[in-house]
Structure 1
Amino acid sequence: MEIISGFVTFAAELTNGDIPEWVKIAPRGRVTARDGRVFDVSPEALVDRFKSEGISIPVDLNHATILKAGRGEESPAYGWIEELEARPNGLYGRVKWLARGRAILAERSHPFLSPAFGATDEKGRTVWLHSVGLVATPALVMPALASAQTHKGAPTNMTNSKLAEALGLSPDVSESDIFAAVADLKAKASSTSNVISSASEAMEVLSAEVGKARRSRIEARVDQAIKAGTATPALRDFCITLADLDEGMFEQFCAKMGTPFAYLSTPAITNEQEARFLEQRPKETSVTMSTDAQRLAAQLGIDVKSIL
C-alpha cells in the first residue's frame, strides 16, 4: 500500500470556520514525495475504479485503516468520500465529514490530506484509491492556496479568485472556466507569436532588398564621381567603402576634392579640332619612308604599302 501525504492543506479554507466539502486529493501526473518516491497519478483511472466498486472511501487519522486495522486496533473514519471527480489539475473528492472529522479540522492539529494508493496499472499509474488520511506532517509540500473547495464548482481559494479577476472573469467562476480562459489566452498568444514570426521574416526579406538597393545607389554615385573627375577608377573600392559607412561623409569628400582628375576623361583633341584638321588636310598627300625605316618595317613583318 503506497501512502503519500501532504497533497492538500486546509489552512486557507478554515479561516472562516468552514469545513470544505470538495477537497483536492492529489495532483495530476508524475509527482515526487519529500522522501523521493515518485507517483504517476491518473485521476480518470481512480474515478473509474471508484465508480465500478460503488464503495465510499474512508478518511481516517494518520492512515489508521492501513496501519492499525490490520492489527485489529480501532481505526474509525473521520469522514467518507462519496464522490470522486477528475479535474484538469488533479483528483478531487466530495467528503461527508463526521463530527470527529469536523472537530479535528477545527483544531488544526492534522491539516493535511494524505492519499493511500492500493494498486497501479501496467504503465505504473495509480488506479485505486484505498483511503485518505488526515496527517500533521506532509510528504509533499504544497501551498495552502491549492487546497480545497467549499462547494463544487467554486474557485478553490483566494488565489483562484484573483486569477479569475486578472482574466476578466467573475470571482466565483468554476475552476474549469479559469482553465478554459487560460487556454484561450495561450492560443491567442501562440497566434500572436506566429504573426510576429511572419512579420520578422518579412522584415528580413525587406531589409535585404533595401540593402541591395542602397548598394546599387552607392555604386552609381561613386561611378558618377569618377566620371566627373573627383576620383580615379583605382579609388573606386575605397569610395564605395566610405559611402557605405557614411554617405554624408562621402559627399563631403567629393566636395573637398573637387574634380582634379577630370582631365583623364577629356580627349586631347576635341571633335571640333579633329573635324577642322580633316577639312584642312590636302586631298592627296604623298608620304615617303626612308630606306632605314623600310628595312626596319620589313624585319618586323609590316607591309609598308598597307599603312601609307
Structure 2
Amino acid sequence: MSHRPTPSSQPFATGVIAGEFAALDAGGVPPAWIKVTPTGRVTTRDGRSYAFDPAALAVRFAAEGISVPVDLDHSVQRKAMFGEAGTVVGWVAELQARPDGLFARVDWLDAGKATLAARTHRYVSPTFSHDDAGNATWLHSVALVPAPALAMPAVASAGGSPQEDQPMLKKIAVALGLTETADEAACLSALTTLRAETVAKAVHDQAIANLSAATAARDAAEAKLATLAADARKAEVDALLEGALTEKKIVPAQREQYAALCATAEGLNQVKALLAVTPKGLQASALDNQNLPAGDEDLTDPAKLSGLAAQFVRRQAEAGITISHADAVVAVRDGKHKETKK
C-alpha cells in the first residue's frame, strides 16, 4: 500500500474532534487499533457540524489503497502549506467501520512508540475532507495531540471553513499575494507555483557565470573583428595611396589628407572614384635622373621633392633595398638621401 496521501479538492477540517485512547497496554505494546471518528453527526464548540459515516470512509480507503499518515499535532497538513514534511509516527494500514465509529489499524514507527510511551500525546484527532453539508468524505491523516478537542479551539484548515480563528493563514495568504479570505488550498497552490518558479541559488549563480563568460567571449570576438577590419582598411588605403603616389596622381604632401578622407567606407569609395578619373598629373622631371647639388635642393617644391624621392627609391633599389615612394619622401625630408650619396 502506498504511503502518499491522495489530494482532495474538497475543504479539510483539522482538530475539530479528538478522543482519548489507551497509549500502551500493560506490556508496553502500543494499541493495534485506535478510534479515529465517532459515528453520526457531531457539533464542535464553535457551532460547526460534521457527520461521519464509518462504512463509507472505510470503503473509500480500501478502494484507493493509500496508507494514511499518523503524525504529531497535525503537522503533515499544516507544514504542507510551507512545502515541508510533517512528523510521521505511524501509518494507517486498515480502516474498519464499527457501531461506535471508525477504527484504524496502525503500523507504529519507532517515533510513534516513543511518543506513546512518553504519554505526551494521549488523544487522536483526524484531518478529513468534507462536503458543503459537513459530511466527511475522506480521511486525510490522523494526529496524536496532547489535549482533547474541548480544550482547544476548533480550527479548519482549508477552503470553505471560517477564517476568523486563523490569523496566521490570513497573513500567509496576503504574503502570497492573495486576499485574506483565501483558503488553505489556494495558499498551497500559490506556494507550489512560487516554488516552481524559484531557481536554486547555485543554478542562478552558474547561469550568471555562463552569461558573463558568453558576454566576454562576444566582446572579445567583436574587438578582434574590429581590429581585423581596421587592419584590412588600413592596408587597402595604403595600397590605394601608394599606387596614386607611384602614378603621380597625388603628391606626398597630399597623402595624409587623402588618408583622412578614407577613414570611412563612404570616404574611401569617394577617393577611389576620384583617383580613378584623375590623370597622372606629375610628369617625369629631369630631377628624376639627376643628382641635384646639395645647395640647390628646394624641399618646399613638391615637384623637386618628388623627384628627389624617386632618385632615392632608385638608389635604394640598386642597393637591393625596396622602399615606398612615401617613405622616400620622408627620407628626403630628413636628409637621409644625402647620406646614401656618399
Shorter-normalised TM-score: what interval?
Answer: 0.3 to 0.5
Structure number with the bigger relative contact order (C-alpha 8 A, sep ≥ 6) is: 1
Tell me the TM-score normalized by structure 1: 0.42
**TM-score normalised by length of structure 2:** 0.38
